[in-house]
Structure 1
């Protein structure tokens, strides 16, 4: 391999949602003397060495039609004033109008009507959210909100991450709390907390099932059952599941997806409830997609545009498999109407076996026709334990009412990973021939395999007090202490064992005020913070300070006309500080380079003007840039993949009377503006509109026939990018048919 090369390294942390690792991949040693540009908001890193045309971009591995067994929930922007929100305040009965922070709620009605099969599918309806991962590469739930990464929690508790998209069949609603939230949820990026509220067991029998078929031979079946195990429902269950078997618009890509989530709940007396939830999810992906080159997609290529169906992974390689098993137990005890205690314990096991993850190495020559490729294989296993406990108290001090939450959590995480890198034959992308053996002769490359053992421990204590000074004025204050320890043992090829230890402590805070001048109208302001430990050291072996996030927000909310009209507006300024990047002089080390800032405003409105009709519109303006950097050329550059303008329009209408009763229509139009394609803002992803349409007809009271068309206008668009050789095309026009039943 020529020493005169250009290398782009994608960090393995992209495969671990919500966590960010700054360890270098096994390809780092290919370039020891290059200039390394800073890590971007998604934890990715680009390393470049001047020379001839070689660019290595290695990615490490790695329509829900069934009705809910319960009634309908609120859809986006249409939450009711009395809907309780779990994502803020833990056990207190908060609602959207009593929380001094911006929140979007995506209800089960929206998930069903839009055919959103994963959390990521639904998040496109949140103004200011931009996709940063694809179901084609198993990262479909990865989103950037207000310029930075969003983090997932479950039922208001910071639980173990799944390194793949989460199926929507077990979800009752999704709550998006915008901005930093480390006081309640510990270490995370400052963009948002996406809280998953799961479907819970019911005391009455109910069930639903669906079968769907779509373009690209896409089969999907779902089931949702709930009911009592004992008389009166003191012991009750819920079982949800889904199975997908689908091709794609990308050549040789195929997915087999299995998800099953059994839950049991039982009451101990009148005051105590124990809930045991579990899930198993498995994705088998053939033709793991790692993006396309910018030249031929969003930039000109002398040979013409590339088809969006182009797959650069070889079909002779074995599929990549990701598995997660999760079991959690939650106990809630009500001492009185004003005192509640909750504790939870969860265990997650992850396993990956990825064979055919291909990365593009760059153009073979200036003709820009033949792409050089590398292939990565990776096997990993990991276990996570999380325990959480909190106590919620309501009490009065004179005329002032307090809602106090005290709690703590502890996380234990271990993972072992082994990976190898090889070189594959070049691919003529305008006349591709796929004929590799499962292991090319150049596999593995000497000294580029790696083996890593990672061990992480985190502990936190927090307190939050919501204070009602009067019926109109409420204050929120919170404080968290967090402690983080990590030990990593790694070997590179035949090199020595490297041991890295990190210990970091941080304090985060939360302040907010809410003023209700008249009933169902609220004005709010807040200052919230976050922190994220940095895994790595400087060139002299010193640890770096945790990355920080600080948001200032002003806003207003209103629920008018008996809940038929909801309005929301917010101004925000969010700063990410102490951003850690690779040292430009020593790629194996880190430096702290400065800050990134996202600021802007959001507007949304939802209405139910007549029975059966619901409307929603949302707009977000986001100005996200690097404001401090040791490389002055990057100051003022846009943060990768953040559109300045984004819009969401959604409408649903159900005919409830007459001969057409049971007929329902729905449609949405979303606009994503121009975005920077990489950290250096060297190219741009064009803005695009996407229009979707759905309709259904109730054949009987319990049987429904549905149809949908996604990307109705067959728009050619690109969802996200990481570098000049990692641009993801969106799917062409896609249709689906489904049959669902409730019983």
Structure 2
């Protein structure tokens, strides 16, 4: 192991017996690690135990000891190099802390330092080609600080005076620093918004990030809970027979989300679906607004990026076990390290299993995932990673809790059943298997040129069966029996995509250009069985028995085999091709930057029947930024996107096929500021997003190809209806975010969004001028972590406190011709979440973390955003108390 000297304020590590190389969490939490790739270092989840099963912690500890003693887990190792590599850098004069961050990005070195004192220190900058040691020495010259090696590719900064009188070197051996700030780093390099490695404060668009550490500490139940941690993003269930807990619609700024990125590679059609396991992910990013420049045809709402965990150069192992008061349980194993002595080949293995019981009887979900990743880094210029994940999900479809009886003597009333009543069959299932293969590579020898490329392949197969009450049956009979029906379907699909980007820096005197040239391609196909309903559309004895609401008897549906009797229909295919170029111009004043970009995209959709539709167009992107101070930046940006019409057979009033795509445009202006000596970042943004060219039906007219529209007294067949491009929907509002370390012992992610979404032009008299359905105007998302106590030998005790709140939403508008428009409203609600954490070093090289999480602390009763009275009712989750334990070594 490397030996490295550490500053005196870390001396408590020796008395506390902290793990080798792990600065204990009770150190001064102003300690900061350079942002570059810190999130990828192995602070890797952990194991969890249960309130009723303290043995779970002991089981995981014994398992670790057995595996290590048996030699199954390799000994910790690190890579060392005898040939120092030089890195081309160009860092302007300015604050030393910012210069260190930029140097970390350019060199790949992890650099730990105390952000407070460095906030007042400036550097003359650095330009040229240097090794890590040479570059740090020049940046720190005259600053009163020096860099001390801290393991492989790691350094710590300390005052020179302390170096002369400081304590003796301490052996450091493991992987991470467990201080609070790195967990909630507010300003990590991101390529999602501009396809260049800019910090979010340098990006003229709204970008949010959340790491695996925060996902775990908040106790997010699934990826949808993680996404709703971003204020302004909402997820809505549907009446899908697969259940709202399995697949949900995602809205950003009032519109649907656009493309999904996987390790920075666009997935034009996300075959793997929206349901993803969080244990395999290192970070989730959200880019708000249209991004047609880079990612082709898409909705204007925004782009979600998933970053999978990557191999690390030092060995680390983590076990986590978890349970809750509903009887759920699960665990995770995460291990990483080098596969050979030089550290050029590294691995990452992650396995996860969960069994989560729902509030409703007989409903559960069981996601399992396994991820393997291998990174080859033969030198400092090139690295490539191959990642594979298999995710298998078995669950019982989410069921409605109740229904409003629509006719008969009980019309307008709900069934007299308890909240957790189960309407289904015991063998109701959703089974989905997903395979994801990702390859990415980066090569760069100097700032003049970086090449980044990658490809993804995804496939899935799925089947489901769902037994539901017949809402149109008119209520129970005299004995309390309610008619039911069963539906089922199978489907499968696959997709592959790839991208290749060339970026670099070009200089002309005092002018600087950060340029980008790239291309992307994607192809996807999917197919499902032609008939979804199994028990209502077939002849023969396939009906399901009714259920008695007073004395229910649950059995399997005996005709599940019918799902596979319907063959898959011919597959529909989609292909996307895109080319893009961009330049960010830095003016000589060092404060002003302009971005100009343009992308050409071609979309082709070929349904299983009918004619293919091809749309191609250019999408511009413009932005301007100005640094008011070195820590405060104002910006304005403009972007466009497009999406083909949902059908290929729409005819306009002249009898022409409508080929013009749906268009999206966004205007945004905002301010970004580094606060509290750079440990936190504030973002304020004003935005307007518009969606137009939405095809809307023209009632009372019939259209034929090549013929003008003519009146028709009766409703024509669907293929004879006329459409016009008259729709315009606008969403505008404000977003406020504060993330990072607010003060000593307090880190937070605070977000608020105000979104006003309206139909400005539409053929629906009821909706015209009214708000968009299922879109809350106000959304608040807050998470805080407070340090309560820390001491050597005891560890650290922290408190987490969060609030998630949404204003009221409504169903689609109706009426409006002879009566005022009406809609059903779901009241707004807020949910308080609580967490209690204890981190403690165990022995010489282990770290134990216990976490108690309470979601919906006050057991608030609320309805799901899309299903609420009157009609179909689905209650939100009740209070849930969970306990987890993780062991890291």
Q: TM-score, normalising length from structure 1? A: 0.82
Bigger mean CA deviation after superposition, 361-370 or 157-166: 361-370
Deviations 1:337-385 (A, max 9, x none): 2201122121111111212264854352699998765432111121211
Q: Could you say which residue in structure 1 is the equivalent of 2:192?
A: 87
Q: How does 1:356-367 map to 2 (within 5 A)?
A: 356=466, 358=468, 361-362=471-472, 364=474
Q: How does 1:162-241 map to 2 (within 5 A)?
A: 162-241=272-351
Are residue 478 (structure 1) and residue 597 (structure 2) matched?
yes
SS at match of 1:362: coil
Is this contact kept in 2: 1:64–1:168, CA < 8 A?
Answer: no
Could you list the runs of 5+ residues in structure 1 that have no partner in the other structure?
1-62, 490-497
Are residue 720 (structure 1) and residue 824 (structure 2) matched?
no
Are residue 466 (structure 1) and residue 577 (structure 2) matched?
no
Query: 1:266 Cα deviation (Å)?
Result: 0.3
Distance 1:712 1:322, change over 3 A: same
Q: Could you say which residue in structure 1 is the equivalent of 2:252?
A: 145
SS at match of 2:279: helix
Distance 1:74 1:150, change over 3 A: farther
Q: Could you say which residue in structure 2 is the equivalent of 1:558?
A: 673
Matches of 1:154 and 1:279, distance apart in 2 = 12
Are residue 252 (structure 1) and residue 359 (structure 2) matched?
no
Is this contact kept in 2: 1:76–1:125, CA < 8 A?
Answer: no
Matches of 1:454 and 1:73, distance apart in 2 = 50
Q: Could you say which residue in structure 1 is the equivalent of 2:572?
A: 454
Bigger mean CA deviation after superposition, 517-526 or 362-371: 362-371
Q: Could you say which residue in structure 2 is the equivalent of 1:646?
A: 779
Deviations 1:385-432 (A, max 9, x none): 112111112102343211111111111112221143133668679547
Are residue 121 (structure 1) and residue 225 (structure 2) matched?
yes
Q: Could you say which residue in structure 2 is the equivalent of 1:155?
A: 263
Q: Could you say which residue in structure 2 is the equivalent of 1:53?
A: none
Q: How does 1:584-663 map to 2 (within 5 A)?
A: 585=715, 586-587=717-718, 591=723, 592-606=725-739, 608-654=741-787, 655-657=789-791, 661-663=795-797
Q: Could you say which residue in structure 2 is the equivalent of 1:46?
A: none
Is this contact kept in 2: 1:371–1:429, CA < 8 A?
Answer: yes
Matches of 1:454 and 1:523, distance apart in 2 = 45
Deviations 1:706-727 (A, max 9, x none): 2111111111112321686555
Query: 1:232 Cα deviation (Å)?
Result: 2.2
Query: 1:64 Cα deviation (Å)?
Result: 6.3
SS at match of 1:653: strand
Are residue 697 (structure 1) and residue 849 (structure 2) matched?
no
Q: Could you say which residue in structure 2 is the equivalent of 1:43?
A: none
Matches of 1:229 and 1:145, distance apart in 2 = 42
Q: Could you say which residue in structure 2 is the equivalent of 1:377?
A: 488
Q: Could you say which residue in structure 1 is the equivalent of 2:704?
A: none
- 1:503 paired residue among 587, 597, 614: 614
SS at match of 2:757: strand
SS at match of 2:230: coil
Matches of 1:274 and 1:341, distance apart in 2 = 12
Q: Could you say which residue in structure 2 is the equivalent of 1:542?
A: 657
Count of residues in Structure 1 that have an aligned counterpart in Structure 2? 667
Distance 1:100 1:210, change over 3 A: same
Q: Could you say which residue in structure 2 is the equivalent of 1:54?
A: none
Q: Could you say which residue in structure 2 is the equivalent of 1:393?
A: 504
Distance 1:511 1:78, change over 3 A: farther
Is this contact kept in 1: 2:801–2:833, CA < 8 A?
Answer: yes
Q: Could you say which residue in structure 1 is the equivalent of 2:686?
A: 571
Is this contact kept in 2: 1:76–1:105, CA < 8 A?
Answer: no
Distance 1:327 1:615, change over 3 A: closer
Query: 1:679 Cα deviation (Å)?
Result: 5.7
Is this contact kept in 2: 1:74–1:107, CA < 8 A?
Answer: no
Is this contact kept in 2: 1:288–1:320, CA < 8 A?
Answer: no
Query: 1:109 Cα deviation (Å)?
Result: 2.7
Q: How does 1:13-24 map to 2 (within 5 A)?
A: none
Distance 1:653 1:262, change over 3 A: same
Q: Could you say which residue in structure 2 is the equivalent of 1:57?
A: none
Matches of 2:455 and 2:179, distance apart in 1 = 28
Distance 1:277 1:577, change over 3 A: same
Deviations 1:436-491 (A, max 9, x none): 662579989x9x998352111111111121111241111112211111112222xx
> Comparing both structures, which one devotes a greater share of its residues to helix?
2
Deviations 1:475-509 (A, max 9, x none): 112211111112222xxxxxxxx424211112212
Matches of 1:389 and 1:202, distance apart in 2 = 24
Are residue 711 (structure 1) and residue 829 (structure 2) matched?
no
Q: Could you say which residue in structure 1 is the equivalent of 2:876?
A: 730
Bigger mean CA deviation after superposition, 223-232 or 394-403: 394-403
Matches of 1:76 and 1:301, distance apart in 2 = 55
Distance 1:291 1:461, change over 3 A: farther
- 1:673 paired residue among 804, 807, 811: 807
Are residue 404 (structure 1) and residue 515 (structure 2) matched?
yes
Bigger mean CA deviation after superposition, 123-132 or 358-367: 358-367
SS at match of 1:482: strand
Q: Could you say which residue in structure 1 is the equivalent of 2:32?
A: none
Matches of 2:445 and 2:561, distance apart in 1 = 66
Is this contact kept in 2: 1:362–1:725, CA < 8 A?
Answer: no
Q: Could you say which residue in structure 2 is the equivalent of 1:355?
A: 465
Distance 1:218 1:75, change over 3 A: farther
Could you list the runs of 5+ residues in structure 2 that have no partner in the other structure?
1-43, 49-173, 537-542, 700-714, 815-821
Distance 1:605 1:350, change over 3 A: same
- 2:527 paired residue among 402, 413, 416: 416
Deviations 1:207-240 (A, max 9, x none): 2110101132211111111100111210001111
Is this contact kept in 1: 2:45–2:213, CA < 8 A?
Answer: no
Is this contact kept in 1: 2:766–2:813, CA < 8 A?
Answer: no
Is this contact kept in 2: 1:713–1:733, CA < 8 A?
Answer: yes
Matches of 2:202 and 2:586, distance apart in 1 = 11
Is this contact kept in 2: 1:74–1:80, CA < 8 A?
Answer: no
Query: 1:283 Cα deviation (Å)?
Result: 0.7
Matches of 2:178 and 2:728, distance apart in 1 = 43
Matches of 2:641 and 2:551, distance apart in 1 = 47
CA-atom RMSD in angstroms: 3.4
Matches of 1:590 and 1:347, distance apart in 2 = 39
Are residue 98 (structure 1) and residue 202 (structure 2) matched?
yes
Bigger mean CA deviation after superposition, 628-637 or 450-459: 450-459
SS at match of 1:184: helix
Q: Which has the larger radius of gyration?
A: 2
Are residue 524 (structure 1) and residue 669 (structure 2) matched?
no
Deviations 1:151-208 (A, max 9, x none): 4312222125222411111222222111111111222221121211222111110121
Matches of 1:285 and 1:342, distance apart in 2 = 39
Q: TM-score, normalising length from structure 2? A: 0.69
Deviations 1:55-88 (A, max 9, x none): xxxxxxxx9655997556998995444x211212
SS at match of 2:865: strand
Matches of 2:333 and 2:696, distance apart in 1 = 46
Is this contact kept in 1: 2:574–2:603, CA < 8 A?
Answer: yes
Matches of 1:550 and 1:256, distance apart in 2 = 40
Distance 1:199 1:139, change over 3 A: same
SS at match of 1:638: coil
